[in-house]
Chain A
């Protein structure tokens, strides 16, 4: 699975998510949705001559009110483009207008938009039905964060195979990023190539025998090493080069000893390097399990052992966050998510920003 590289890099530098064009707060729909709306109205136009119509919209999908409104607006615009006149509700013209019923539904795979041309007989079998599919997407979250801490997720990578950690790395002398993806038994290096990441190197990694059902691993760019279930690997000359691994008892328990910190969620967490109003920023996942959707929320605390306060809104994911690790020297963390809708594993950079 590959993701358009310029989009990711643009997102990393300018804070634009790859899904930014799908933002629900704007009146502009994603192109695929606009295309679906246009196709639907094309079919209406093929089924009946331009006339006065009313459009009733019913949302029986998981689309939010704002998205449904944007889709309805797009369909109305398309109808007018096809020379249909929209009769105002409760007007005299509406009494004689043809009734169009737009149902925003969804299947397991797609959004399904259905247009029915209702006639006077109200005979269900006689109603012409037009159906189009519109792709589901992972769209930007709505709403501005009025709290002091706001979180932003930037999609970096996805693949069908499970991976444990990832890192975006740029040599000081280079302008190019390198993407490292730590799988359960190999480290894969990707380099920029055209608009996509190109596979540059695959380095096998030793595996514990038998393998763990709950494997863990970390890429530590600062120390130039990889820790993976009882092994520690260093690169020559760096992690993108040849790896040399040795058994490491210290690295067996990557979770480390359990620290009881009252008030914190009992879940994955990471303390990032930067502060907000002089307070420590920590990010925590929700207290669900691996069969459910998940979220990451920011917390502020004046000290490790002091009470923490949730700050800002959580950001949602379509599956459990299986790994959350602080990015050294930044206010960001690396998150690996198992998307339950697609079955794929996804990499995100989650950045905490201290707001007004």
Chain B
């Protein structure tokens, strides 16, 4: 009996040791991933230009799924269907159905297909996530907390999108095609008063706002703690030096200093702050800035820019704003490349100014810190908050990783499990 037990035990041991053991982590093949997007993509023609930044971003996600490679300029190219998925059904602006490419050179994706529904608004996406009618959808950062409280599984990227106040008089966003201009505000219609802000006045206004704006309150109340106060032009996780740029709630001394500065610019009249009327976050932040500025004795008027996403330059020309809120998403995980791609405008990043501070390649953390300090010392850009990208996931989505700067949705690596617990990822 003992011998038999010993033999059975030995056989079991050999069999068990030979196995790498069972594993729930091993991916499973099969299933259809349901994705919802806010934007509507009109065409998957790689040469077609998207009408809005939102459409361009959504198109890039779809392109990354159906094209195998990018050109030198970063645009996706090649034959449609050479990527991990092939398009089997396309309804422009509404719906796309993709099937796994069995011959994809990096291996067949785990899911059999993807069904993409376009043009779904944020509230609809959130409801569909709550009802498990979709597997993946973007969530506005200000809704992340509520979504998690509603039981939606939430995936949050490191903060990689900067919301900043930018004086448009010295920014190419104010003028068509980024035309360099000494003071584009005048050329573009000027202020509400008809007079462009003098450069010196603009600098004082920027400094006043930088001191007076309560970034912590924006993060805590408007963003429901999904985000970070921003004092620098690169996030702390990337640069390691963002903490050197003050971004806390204004101290009494800072508020006092802001009041002193606002007296110097009282004669300039109210500053008109534009925001994208289609962006509820920008609207809330703009209204908060009005309140903070008033506390410092500075007059700011928030003005919605209708359809700003569709024709930003045109809208700005007719809107007569002095400054506007800008959302900029990092395009590279490398600090130097990310910094260089910030669309702050030719006047802010004048060659003379940048030449004054050497920017070697590769750049050290100190080099990048000095560059940021040089740009921010002019106060025509006021960083406000860093936003993460937030995604809602169904319980069955596995191996999803929120893409970082410059990355696309990793849907070829995602697989669908039978059941998994919900929670914040």
Q: Which residues in A have some Cβ–Cβ distance to B below 8 Å?
A: 60-61, 103, 105-112, 114, 116, 124-125, 129-133, 210-215, 254-261, 264, 266-273, 280, 284-285, 287-291, 303-305, 320, 323-326
Contacts and interface: CB of A to CB of B under 8 A. Distances in A.
A303 B398 CA distance: 33
A167 B388 CA distance: 42
B178 interface: no
9 contacts: A107-B241, A212-B108, A213-B413, A261-B16, A261-B22, A287-B24, A290-B25, A291-B401, A304-B9
Nearest to A112: B240
A266 B104 CA distance: 30
A8 B182 CA distance: 62
The 9 closest A-B pairs by CB, nearest first: A112-B240, A107-B240, A269-B21, A213-B107, A131-B366, A291-B401, A266-B24, A258-B22, A271-B17
Interface in B383-425: 398-401, 412-413
Interface string B102-114: 1111111110000
B273 to A, nearest CB: 25
A254 B27 contact: no
B76 interface: no
A259 B19 contact: yes
A133 B20 CA distance: 41
Given A259-B19, A303-B9, A103 B243 contact: yes
Contacts of A287: 24-25
Contacts of B169: none
Contacts of A324: 20
Contacts of A213: 27, 106-110, 412-413
Interface residues of B, number: 47
A132 B241 CA distance: 11
A270 B108 contact: no
Nearest to A340: B401
B330 to A, nearest CB: 11
B51 interface: no
A83 to B, nearest CB: 25
A112 B20 contact: no
B18 to A, nearest CB: 7
Contacts of A280: 13
A260 B21 CA distance: 9
Contacts of B304: none
B21 A267 contact: yes
B21 A290 contact: no
B106 A114 contact: no
Interface stretch (B37-45, B118-126, B231-239, B292-300): B231-239
Interface in B195-250: 236-241, 243-244, 246
A133 B365 contact: yes
B244 A129 contact: yes
B12 interface: yes
A106 B240 contact: yes
A108 B333 contact: yes
B25 A132 contact: no
Contacts of A124: 244, 246
Given A107-B238, A259-B22, A290-B399, A304 B108 contact: no
Contacts of B238: 107-108
A129 B22 CA distance: 54
B239 A266 contact: no
Interface string B24-52: 11110000000000000000000000000
Given A107-B335, A267-B24, A304-B12, A60 B365 contact: no
A273 B365 CA distance: 49
Contact of A210 (B108, B364, B366): B108
Contacts of B412: 213
Contact of A105 (B13, B236, B333, B366): B236
B138 to A, nearest CB: 18
Contacts of A320: 25
Given A210-B102, A212-B107, A291-B399, A259 B21 contact: yes
Given A131-B369, A210-B104, A280-B13, A270 B241 contact: no
Contacts of B401: 291
Contacts of A133: 240, 364-365
Contacts of A273: 17
A187 to B, nearest CB: 19
A268 B365 contact: no
B346 to A, nearest CB: 25
B55 to A, nearest CB: 28
Given A210-B103, A289-B399, A304-B9, 13 more contacts: A107-B237, A108-B335, A211-B106, A212-B108, A255-B20, A256-B18, A259-B22, A266-B22, A266-B24, A269-B21, A270-B17, A272-B17, A291-B401
A112 B25 contact: no
B20 A323 contact: yes
Nearest to B362: A109
A260 B27 contact: no
